Amino acid sequence: MKRTHYSRQITKGMDGQRVKVAGWVSNLRKLGSIAFIKLRDREGFIQITLVKNKMPELFNIIDELTIESVISVDGIVKANEQAPNGVEVLPENIEILSKAETPLPMDISGKIESELETRLNARFMDLRQPKVEAVFMIRDGVLTAIREYLEDQGFIEIHTPKIVAAGAEGGATLFPVKYFEKDAYLNQSPQLFKQIMMSTGLDRVYEIAPAFRAEPSATTRHLSEFTSFDFEMAFIDSQEDVMKTLENCIVHVFNHVKKHEQDFLDVLGIELEVPKTPFKRITFEEAKGLLKTKGKIVVDDLDTEAERLLGTVMEEPFYFITGFPSDTKPFYIMEDEDNPTLSYSFDLDYKGVEMASGGQREHRYGKLIERMKRFGLNPADFSFYLNAFKYGMPPHGGMGLGIERLVQKMLNLGNVRETVLFPRDKTRLVP
Ligand code: AMO
């Protein structure tokens, strides 16, 4: 290997030890007969110090190197109070593995702030910045924690098709696909498949996978391709069972990130507060009342502005809104037994933005067909889904959460695109 240690693993206590480090030349400084290379790898920086009279041949490499070239360095660790982190490496050999051309496609020295569009066009370079990299290290921690929590709760990870014959979340945001001789779509959500799974006996499932929505407008929280975290669980008593699983999962995620990703939170200057359970629950009616006091009149659903305003009046960052009107929720949501104009649905909002929605599903075949027809859907188009309800389908519920929105709000990022390596939106198809 070209490396024995990442930069962060090299400590003062290793004085005198031989190491091999590798990474990108972040900075170069030549001060007469001494020169410094600031080497960057994914864990941070390490100073490589060259002294001319100790290593006359090696010293000349400084004139050959360009910023952002890739090198590997064999050398000896030296504790030095004047070096960053109190430690440096005195090289015995430096190998140039790949020389970077000049000028660079964007400045990543931190001197010039680039526009998001410029950064996304040169994303490979943008991602070399510790602040950008930190977002993805934390995102990795979020996903690890979700899997950890759900596996512990007896859920199994599944993968459902992304090329489908019918969508569940409304025709307006479907992407059509040419599929041999047939019409197909990119799936908007694993909804129909995770529900089919509830009839199989594998009665607790989750999926973390891409979902596609042809979102026509450019906003700071909509993507054409996002990562949907879904779970579905059977034999529930009510949607409360789903909400409890979700809030406990969120708390586990925050604890995990705080424990394992603190270095990256520090890079971003984020003081992460672990939310407390139970999260506050308010009904849609109560939310309407709160919004009225802010001068916002809501009829049957919360728009972006209503969600934002609600965030300003709620005391806690996370809160559930329950009991939305049944006509504004999808056909698969169960209506309230006592008041069918309402539904057993919920949204989870975080700092004024919808993170997740879910609820108890309609598992009774006849009622489901009725509801589909009321929504103007043709049950024949959904027979692959409806068949699973005819031969033994337990009561069940679940939810879907946008990973990008969760990371965005957790890290106080202005735009959801910051949390995607290569975002897709109406105008962006490359890189
Ligand atoms: P919904 O359509 O509310 O519900 O989506 C669930 C969550 O997914 C995220 N999300 C998005 N994130 C970024 N860009 C988008 N275009 C986008 N669209 C949605 C949001 C949202 O809260 N099947 C149901 C879930 C369920 O009932 O289990 C569904 O898809 O964070």
Q: What is the pLDDT of residues 80-133, one digit of tens each?
A: 999 999 999 999 999 999 999 999 999 998 888 899 999 999 999 999 999 999
What pLDDT shows up at residue 22? Answer: 98
Same domain for 291 and 174? yes
Q: What are phi and psi of 31, to 5 degrees?
A: -120, 80
Q: How far is the CA of 221 from the centre of ligand 1 (A)?
A: 11
Q: What is the pTM of this model?
A: 0.97
**What pLDDT score was predicted for residue 171?**
86
Q: Is the CB of 404 under 6 A from ligand 1?
A: yes
How far is the C-alpha of 263 from the C-alpha of 193, rounded, in Å? 39
Report the percent of the chain where pLDDT is more than 70: 100
3-class SS at 21? strand
Q: Are residues 258 and 338 in the same domain?
A: yes
Same domain, 246 and 287: yes
Domain assignment present for 366: yes
> Is residue 32 domain-shared with residue 136, that is, in the same domain?
no
- What distance in angstroms lies between residue 174's CA and the mean position of ligand 1's atoms? 13
Helix axes 130-152, 239-260, angle to 10 degrees: 130
- Residue 332 Cα: closest atom of ligand 1: 27
Q: Are 341 and 326 in contact (CB under 8 A)?
A: yes
pLDDT of residue 228: 98
Strand locations in 115-194 (E): 156-157, 163-164, 175-179, 182-186
- Note whether residue 307 is domain-resident: yes
- For residue 239 and ligand 1, the question of a CB distance below 6 A is answered with no
Q: How many domains does the chain have?
A: 2
228 in the same domain as 363:
yes
Residue 313 lies in a domain: yes
Report the CATH number that the domain containing residue 415 is assigned in CATH. 3.30.930.10
Higher local confidence (pLDDT), 217 or 351: 351
Domain that holds residue 348: 130-419
11 plus 151 within the same structural domain: no
- Domain stops at, among 82, 98, 114: 98
Residue 424 in contact with ligand 1 by CB distance below 6 A: no
Please work out whether the CB of residue 355 comes within 6 Å of at least one atom of ligand 1. Answer: yes
Distance 403 CA to ligand 1 centre (A): 10
Residues 359 and 402 in one domain: yes
Q: Is 3 a catalytic residue?
A: no
CA of 183 to the centre of ligand 1 (A): 24
User: Can you tell me the mean pLDDT for 135-139?
Assistant: 98
Active site includes 238? no
Distance 15 CA to ligand 1 centre (A): 52
Q: State residue 110's pLDDT score.
A: 83
Measured by CA distance, the residue closest to atom 30 of ligand 1 is 189
Mean pLDDT for the stretch of residues 275-304 = 97
- Is 329 exposed, middle or buried (CB count within 10 Å of its CB: 0-12, 13-18, 19+)? buried
Question: Is 427 a member of any domain?
Answer: no
pLDDT band at 385 (very low <50, low <70, confident <90, very high): very high
> Which is catalytic among the residues 139, 222, 396, 417?
222
Pocket test for ligand 1, best of 226, 230, 410 (most atoms within 8 A of CB): 226
Res 170 pLDDT > 90: no
Among this protein's residues, is 215 annotated catalytic?
A: yes
At 363 the pLDDT is: 98
Per-residue pLDDT band for 369 (boundaries 50, 70, 90) equals very high
Q: Mind listing the pLDDT tens digit for each residue in 140-152?
A: 999 999 999 999 9
For residue 67, give the CATH number of its domain. 2.40.50.140
User: Does 429 reside within a domain?
Assistant: no
Residue with CA at minimum distance from ligand 1 atom 22: 356
87 and 200 together in one domain? no
Verify that 90 and 134 share a domain, yes or no.
no
Does the pLDDT of residue 240 top 90, yes or no? yes
Let me know whether 309 and 224 are in one domain: yes
In-domain check, residue 104: no
For residue 383, indicate whether it is catalytic.
Answer: no
Mean pLDDT of 197-220: 96
Query: Would you call 204 a catalytic residue per the annotation?
Result: no
- In the prediction, which pLDDT does 217 show? 85
Q: Which of 43, 148, 157, 354 is catalytic?
A: 354
How much is the pLDDT for 350? Answer: 98
Structure tokens at 60: 């000349």
Q: Same domain for 193 and 92?
A: no
User: Rounded to the nearest whole angstrom, what is the distance from the C-alpha of residue 265 to the centroid of ligand 1?
Assistant: 26
Average pLDDT score over the chain: 97
**Are residues 221 and 318 located together in one domain of the fold?**
yes
Asked whether residue 44 carries a pLDDT value surpassing 90, the answer given is: yes
| 405 included as an active-site residue | yes
> Which stretches of 18-142 are assigned E, i.e. beta strand?
18-31, 34-41, 44-51, 70-79, 87-98
**Which of 228, 232, 233, 357 is CA-nearest to residue 284?**
357
Pairing of strands 318-322, 345-350: antiparallel
Question: Could you give the maximum distance between any two Cα atoms of the chain, in Å?
Answer: 87
Q: Is residue 426 part of a domain?
A: no
Residue 124 lies in a domain: no
296-346 tens-digit pLDDT: 999 999 999 999 999 999 999 999 999 999 999 999 999 999 999 999 999
**Ligand 1 pocket check for 169: Cβ under 6 Å:** yes
Q: Where residue 415 falls among pLDDT bands split at 50, 70, 90?
A: very high
